[in-house]
Amino acid sequence: MLAAQETKTEQDPSAHGRRTLFRCTFLRHFTLSTTPWRLLGGGVFTLLLLGLVLWHTPAFLSQDVTCGGLLYGLCLTVCGLLGGMTTLRVGVNNRRLASVISTVVVLLLPIVAMTMVECLGGVFTWNWSPQTLLLNYVLYLLFYGIVYVFSGSYRLPMLIINPLFFLLGLTHFYVMAFRGTPFLPVDLFAAGTAANVAVAYDFSFNYQVIIAIVLLASLTVLAYKLRTPAFDVVGKLATRVFFGTLVVSILCIYFFTDMYAQAGLKPDFWSQARGYRKTGVVMNFCLNVKYSMDHVPADYDPEEVDDLLSSVLQVDPDSIGVSTAPAPTQTPNVICIMNESLADLRVLGDLHTNVPYMPFLDSLRENTIRGNLYVPVIGSGTSNTEFEFLTGVSTSFFLDGSNAFMLYVKENLPSLVSTMMDQGYSSLAFHPYYASGWNRRAVYDHFGFSQFTSLGSIIPNSILTEYAASGADSEVLIRLVEEMYPNQDILLRRYVSDSCNYRELIKMYEQRDKEKPFFLFNVTMQNHGGYTEQTSNFTETVFVTDEAGNVTTAYPKANQFLTLMKHSDDAVRDLIAYFEQVEEPTIICLFGDHQPSIENELVADLLGADNLYSLTPEQERKRYVTPFYIWANYDIPEQTVERLSVNYLSSYVLQTAGVQMPAFNRYLLQLSETLPVVHNVGLADGAGDWYDAGSHNPHAALLAAYEKIAYNYVQDSEGRQNKLYYLP
């Protein structure tokens, strides 16, 4: 038969590439063979994979010599084995034996897939407990089983699911590297904003990524080798019905009961990063899906919201819509600035630098209210801080890891903007970056801003178009802007500088409608993450030092950030100097949106921890602190606030300005005296004691009432009690 087949192949020119070059039998049931096309394809594949590993040799050898060398040798060995598997075809002459081998391989591949995903985070499956390993193993099998139910194939589940696992692991790896928090299901809603700023980050491969790619290649090659056993009709039906029933049962139990949660299968809400590391990326991503679904607070009734609010205000519910604030003799201008990544890293611990990096802000005391602000995010997620400030609603009541701008602002919503406009203020928004980020164009419209100025008003679209065509090359943008605006310091790195930002702000003030008091909300961009990029228009001048004052180069991200902070400090100094000369009473509120994503090792060292996965609650809370300042160019009582969450800050601004405020803001001011911090990492009361958000803290009733009011404000548009959130 073989001779006849070879004669036929030789007579068919189109089959020349499939001609068997050699065939041999071993161990009686196995054969090895190859063809010219298989030899060529396998050789190219092997060379590409070997080239990738060899090209990144320094990435391996820069690690611990023993560990890095061992992993490097294993990668090269696997590449060689894959080369043999792709150039040779292994045949099994015994059908029953072939079925057994394929089934065994299918049962082993989830372990390889788990290793592929977890190695991206520096975790290997043998670090897990046996229970964690077993749970992940079953979860991976379930994903394969879903595809098997519909395809009846051993091969397709591997070819479809494993690349998705790899993509999830890789995304989590880069998200953790850039912002220091895990990749959550709700992050999918912010993909567009992430794309806008992604060009500033370093996506180069390290040895972990290379290992994961080699493992993905192994899984793919093995999947192509798989052959589905030739089950009879009953066997095919039984296996597919079994997996289908199993998947549906597990999903129903998870989403419609608390059985898994009671057994401990739920996200680590206190530290998602720790949860992802301890029990797996795929496991925790899936666990978070359930908690990404909105829920109505227990015993919620929109008709009772005004009673909940009045119980704190201690007033007659019928008078809730009426403000008791005295009308100001002269309405002050109000400028609110959320400064990108404005943070004082000294809140983490004993930080030493070669020069002070925020000397002006440290000295700002006269006519100033200042303090520590607890913001809801670390490293990114700017718009959640923005949402809390503009609305007064804590995002701790929302889906864990969710973005309020993306999920909840779908229609007109009361806010600080409507409160100012109802009193005759102008309402300007200014952000010197792309207007599409965090869906701001639509969100600002829903909040009621009359004008939104973004990057295109500072840098012409012709430059931005050429910059995009260059592949977002920072030096191209810097050159084009400098040619058009010589010596104006428009950019610092690739972003509009705080100095330029404030010059534009002053222009808006000078060109204002003088018939109205001036209100502007500004989100800056200068200090945005991506602190590894070196550009021709930026030089580091502030460096981390040891206690003896010796400069260390171990923290290049931190050094770049601290230098940017010094530029921010200088720009605020100049802004304050301008408004000190303005005759109209003016208030400026300045605060940071989150701490930066710098080296984890430095953050852990400042906190006195071994790593960021073993932080105590007290250490974890420090990572959410940024400074805030409310300054006036006229006499106001000076004050230092030890702790305040950002949902209260705009009410402080309204109170300082002496303008009227809705009942909700008066409620927040009184609530802040009892619970000055309402946050996803806990609650702080007026005495400085911290509690978790569970039902066993002494302020549970106050928190539950606030959650119901927040739900009525943001999510219950039909039952919203507008008299609470708008001025009458």
Q: Give tens-digit pLDDT for 259-306.
A: 666 667 777 754 677 788 888 888 888 887 776 666 788 888 988 988
Residues 317 and 207 in one domain: no
pLDDT at 623: 94
Tell me the pLDDT band of 107, cut-offs 50, 70 and 90: confident
Which range (5-14, 104-113, 131-140, 384-393) has the least confidence? 5-14
Q: Which two tokens stand for residue 301?
A: 């009734």
82 belongs to a structural domain: no
Residues 276 and 326 in one domain: no
Residues 522 and 569 in one domain: yes
Task: Based on the fold, state whether residues 668 and 635 are members of the same structural domain.
Answer: yes
Structural domain includes residue 660: yes
Q: What's the domain range around 108?
A: 100-291
Give the per-residue pLDDT at 328.
53
**pLDDT-wise least confident of 280-294, 305-319, 645-659:** 305-319
Q: Are residues 357 and 491 in the same domain?
A: yes
Give yes or no: residues 372 and 276 share one domain.
no
pTM above 0.75, yes or no: no
| Position 85 in a domain | no
Question: Are the beta carbons of 309 and 708 closer than 8 angstroms?
Answer: no
pLDDT > 90 in the chain, percent: 42
Structure tokens at 721: 């009690």
358 and 235 assigned to the same domain:
no
Greater model confidence, 80 or 140: 140
685-698 burial, b at 16+ Cβ within 10 Å, e below that, comes to beeeebbebeeebe
**Cα dist. 83→73, 79, 214, 532, 628 in Å?**
15, 6, 12, 37, 59
Dump pLDDT digits (tens) for 501-510. 999 999 999 9
Q: List, in sequence order, every residue forming a beta bridge with 551; answer none if it has no partner.
A: 545
pLDDT value for 292: 65
Name the pLDDT band for 533 (thresholds 50, 70, 90). confident
Q: Read off the tokens for 423.
A: 């009193």
For the chain, the distance separating the N- and C-terminal CA atoms, rounded to the nearest angstrom, is 94
Which of 120, 117, 155 lies closest to 137, judged by CA? 117
Average pLDDT over residues 552-564: 93
**588 in Cβ contact with 582 (< 8 Å):** no
Q: What is the pLDDT of residues 475-506, one digit of tens each?
A: 999 999 999 999 999 999 999 999 999 999 99
Work out the pLDDT band at 180, boundaries 50, 70, 90.
Answer: low
Number of folded domains that form the chain:
2
pLDDT for residue 3: 34
The residues, ordered by sequence, that sit 6+ positions from 287 with a Cβ below 8 Å of its Cβ are 265, 266, 267
163 and 308 in a single domain? The answer is no
pLDDT at res. 327: 47
User: Considering the domain boundaries, does residue 607 fall inside one?
Assistant: yes
Instruction: Classify residue 45: in a domain, yes or no.
Output: no
Domain end, chosen from 236, 259, 291, is at 291
Report the pLDDT value the prediction gives residue 231, as an integer from 0 to 100.
67
High-pLDDT (> 70) share of the chain, %? 87
* Phi, psi angle pair for 31, to nearest 5°: -130, 145
3-state secondary structure of 586: strand
**Phi (first) and psi of residue 337, to 5 degrees:** -125, 115
370 CB contacts (<8 Å, ≥6 apart)? 364, 627, 628, 629, 630, 639, 640, 641
Residue 115 has pLDDT above 80, yes or no: yes
User: Residue 146's pLDDT is what?
Assistant: 86
Beta strands of 361-458 (E only): which ranges? 368-374, 428-430, 451-453
pLDDT at 318: 52
Q: Are 354 and 419 within one domain?
A: yes
Q: pLDDT at position 50, please?
A: 80
Band the pLDDT of 11: cuts 50, 70, 90: very low
Question: Average pLDDT, stretch 180-191?
Answer: 70
Of 291, 313, 343, which residue constitutes the final position of a domain? Answer: 291
Dihedral angle sign, alpha carbons of residues 504, 508, 511, 514 = negative
Domain of 528, CATH number, reads 3.40.720.10
pLDDT score, position 322: 47
Q: Report residue 522's pLDDT band, with 50, 70 and 90 as the boundaries.
A: very high
Which backbone phi and psi does 314 adopt, to 5 degrees?
Answer: 55, 50
Of the pLDDT bands very low, low, confident and very high (cuts 50, 70, 90), residue 66 is: low
61, part of any domain? no
Task: Look at residue 577 in the predicted model and tell me its pLDDT.
Answer: 97
Last residue of a domain, which of 240, 260, 291?
291
- What lies within 8 Å, CB to CB, of 158 at 6+ separation is 106, 109, 144, 219, 220, 222, 223, 226
663 and 597 within one domain: yes
Q: Is the pLDDT of residue 601 over 60?
A: yes
pLDDT tens digits for 661-673?
999 999 999 999 9
Are 223 and 309 part of one and the same domain? no
d(CA 446, CA 347): 36
Q: Specify the pLDDT at position 4.
A: 36
Residue 199 has pLDDT above 80, yes or no: no
If you average pLDDT over residues 539-567, what whole number do you get? 93
Say what the pLDDT of residue 202 is.
64
Residue 421 forms part of a structural domain: yes
For the segment 243-248, the average pLDDT, to the nearest whole number, is 80
Name the least confident of 113-122, 249-258, 261-270, 678-687: 261-270
Q: Is residue 163 part of a domain?
A: yes
Residues 149 and 203 in one domain: yes
What is the reported pLDDT for 252? 79
pLDDT of residue 197: 53
**Range among 194-208, 241-255, 511-525 with highest mean pLDDT value:** 511-525
Burial class (CB in 10 A: 0-12, 13-18, 19+), 258: exposed
User: Looking at per-residue confidence, does 265 or 472 come out higher?
Assistant: 472
